[in-house]
Amino acid sequence: MGDSGRMTLDVAAVRAAYPALRDGYAYLDGAAGTQVPTPVIDAIASAYRTGIGNSGGPFPASHRSDAITEGARLAVADLVGGDPAGVVLGPNTTTLVYRFAQALAATWRPGDEIVVSQLDHDANVRPWVQAAARAQVTVRWAEVDPSTGELPAEQYDTLLGERTRLVAVTAASNIIGTRPDVAAITAKAHAVGALTFVDGVHATPHGPVDRVALGADFYATSAYKWSGPHIGAVIADPALLETLRPDKLLPSSNDVPQRFETGTAPFADLAGVTAAVDHLAALAGPATGARRERLLASMAAVESYERELFGVLLRGLEEIPQITLYGKAAQRTATAYFRVAGHAPREVAEHLAGRGVNVWHGHSYAWELTGALGLRDSGGAVRAGLVHYNNRADVDRLLAGVAELAGPKG
């Protein structure tokens, strides 16, 4: 507990839960996928060890699989603030966005409009653009201010109109961390009767999420970004899901949310999803109480911990004259995107790998944004992102490695 009575993170204890961190690398690649703590590994192994069957059978192994699936829906609903009956599970967010693009586009008419943004990962852009082309729907683009990395909400006043059917926007950029004012954007969308699809993949691991407060009719998240297995989810109001008719096999369930789920679920991994949410709830939250409340407290502690450590990282990079940092939004996650003068991003990542630091490089599928920043055709930039298990030693090692490559100051 901190001085103010707020819960704080015991990072040494948190790190001890992640066996992979013992290899000694500084895992600053969390934005591309986090490591997995022991309880998640155990939950997955235990599901297989105990015995699981396919869904809907009259025997215990099948009942266990169905219970695991329902448990994962409850857990994801607690994490983002939703109704478990509105949690659609799938292999990853990209696949689910394609699924929803198909289902929603079936409700569009030629001449309708949708709005996508330059800030988004391509997973929340291309499926909509491709579906719009097929449905003869016009695509409008919300633009990023390249000097700040902000996605100004005011521009939606001119982008939206009575034909707008959908606004797709991210809750945080996966490269420069910008957290746009999603609540303001979705309020404008709702004022013209449009639906909103919010990409929460990058935002979810970095702080508390309230899907309803964000105004997200659909909210997407991927468990492998928050210490879970490779599973994606889209959370919506079940009543809204009832109105959609995705392509599906005839014999598969027409219930909601199962209607949106194709094929046999990865039951053991779904046990890992629940374990990951329980792990997050226990990071720094109170020991007792409803899981949703514990998650909100825990993720608030994660957010403030990351903010403080990110300050150290940013100040350190800013002191190196050869560094160019991209994005300086007022609200952002702990995600740095930078170049080192005279060195290609891949070369920087290779140099850091040799110093025991994992960072990502390139466009990281932020296709439109790296285009707008003028970086896409020249190798993008280097991304170093913090999550709750990173510590000061990780940051110091990154800064030392970058300084070594950059050479003498000035």
Residues that bind ligand PLP (CB under 6 A): 92-94, 121, 123-124, 170, 174, 199, 201-202, 222, 232
The distance of closest approach from Cβ of residue 7 to ligand PLP in the complex, given in angstroms and rounded to an integer, is 27
80: enclosing H helix or E strand: helix 60-80
Backbone angles phi, psi at 263, to 5 degrees: 70, -170
Report the C-alpha gap between 391 and 16 in whole angstroms.
12
Q: Which is nearer to ligand PLP, 44 or 233 (CB)?
A: 233
- 8 A C-beta contact, residue 133 and residue 233: no
- 8 A C-beta contact, residue 179 and residue 203: yes
Query: Hey, how many other C-beta atoms are within 10 angstroms of the C-beta on 403?
Result: 18
The distance of closest approach from Cβ of residue 148 to ligand PLP in the complex, given in angstroms and rounded to an integer, is 19
The distance of closest approach from Cβ of residue 381 to ligand PLP in the complex, given in angstroms and rounded to an integer, is 15
Distances in whole angstroms, Cα of residue 380 to Cα of each of 128, 242, 361: 24, 41, 7
Report the C-alpha gap between 402 and 398 in whole angstroms.
6
Which residue in 60, 394, 339, 78 sits closest to 208, CA to CA? 78
Which residue in 367, 334, 331, 332 sits closest to 124, CA to CA? 367
The distance of closest approach from Cβ of residue 163 to ligand PLP in the complex, given in angstroms and rounded to an integer, is 27
Report the C-alpha gap between 239 and 116 in whole angstroms.
24
The distance of closest approach from Cβ of residue 320 to ligand PLP in the complex, given in angstroms and rounded to an integer, is 26
The distance of closest approach from Cβ of residue 327 to ligand PLP in the complex, given in angstroms and rounded to an integer, is 14
Q: Which is nearer to ligand PLP, 40 or 320 (CB)?
A: 40
Q: Which is nearer to ligand PLP, 199 or 261 (CB)?
A: 199
The distance of closest approach from Cβ of residue 168 to ligand PLP in the complex, given in angstroms and rounded to an integer, is 11
- Report the phi/psi class of residue 106: left, alpha or beta, with left for phi > 0 and alpha for psi in -120 to 50: alpha
The distance of closest approach from Cβ of residue 368 to ligand PLP in the complex, given in angstroms and rounded to an integer, is 12
Q: Where in 150-260 does DSSP place strands (E)?
A: 164-170, 195-199, 218-222, 232-236
Q: Which is nearer to ligand PLP, 219 or 291 (CB)?
A: 219
Which residue in 118, 306, 292, 286 sits closest to 205, CA to CA? 306
Q: Which is nearer to ligand PLP, 155 or 335 (CB)?
A: 335
Q: Which is nearer to ligand PLP, 92 or 138 (CB)?
A: 92
Beta bridge mates, 167: 115, 196
The distance of closest approach from Cβ of residue 279 to ligand PLP in the complex, given in angstroms and rounded to an integer, is 19
Q: Which is nearer to ligand PLP, 17 or 223 (CB)?
A: 223
Backbone angles phi, psi at 308, to 5 degrees: -65, -45
Which residue in 292, 278, 281, 404 sits closest to 340, CA to CA? 404
Q: Which is nearer to ligand PLP, 15 or 99 (CB)?
A: 99
Q: Which is nearer to ligand PLP, 99 or 397 (CB)?
A: 99
Q: Which is nearer to ligand PLP, 170 or 322 (CB)?
A: 170
- 8 A C-beta contact, residue 292 and residue 81: yes
The distance of closest approach from Cβ of residue 404 to ligand PLP in the complex, given in angstroms and rounded to an integer, is 29
